[in-house]
Amino acid sequence: MACLDLPASQARHPPPPGTLALECDATSEAEVAAAFRRVGEDFGGLDGLVHLAGFARARQPVAETGLEAWADVIDGNLTSTFLACRAALPLLRHGEGAAIVTTSSGLALKPTPGYGPYSASKAAILSLTRLIAQENAPHIRANAVAPGAVDTAFLRGGTGRGGDDANETRLDFDAYLRTVPLARLAVPADVVGPILFLLSPAAAYVTGQTLHVNGGLLMV
């Protein structure tokens, strides 16, 4: 297994022992290409790619959003997904039952004011994932998970790309939970299970789909 992430994220959240940990800015074409070359040298091919992109800046209306802020979030979510998938596809063609899982959000289908670039980028990831699924069938499957709020460092202030665990939380927890039928906040394990399912032979006939993981907040 290989883990590609920013140096600060690797330091604060170390990958499991035995993992090939590669420092990489997922928005850099050169760094992504170099990281996947190393993955290819070490593994020869890939059976799966999981792209976990989640980056947002301070909430503000679209009318007040500058181009730099817009581009920063689009790059952190959408461009990084494109770069990783493009670099991984040649390796996945050498894998067994190869599959891609990208990460969208419930905000892709149900935008919330103040999250313009985040919602737009996460919606675009769904379209990109379906396109990749069509272009690479039948050899490679591609699906997306679309979580609601998950109790992570990202939600409680941020981590990694410009994040700081001491930042203000991104969510009014009490108000949010009043809208969730399962009446609790998701934890990472709630999303890990669906990701592993989509990677596994149990999902061998599933491609181009979005699996919503939100406790019933959004039912589609």
Which residues are the active-site residues?
118
Distances (CA, A) of 48 to 90, 91, 123, 203, 205: 12, 9, 22, 13, 15
Give Rg (Cα) of the chain. 17
Task: Write the DSSP symbol of residue 169.
Answer: P
Q: Tokens in use for 100?
A: 């891609």
Q: With 0-12 CB in 10 A as exposed, 13-18 as middle and 19+ as buried, what is 77?
A: buried
Distances (CA, A) of 24 to 31, 140, 160, 163, 214: 6, 24, 11, 16, 29
Rounded distance between C-alpha atoms, residue 105 and residue 115, angstroms: 11
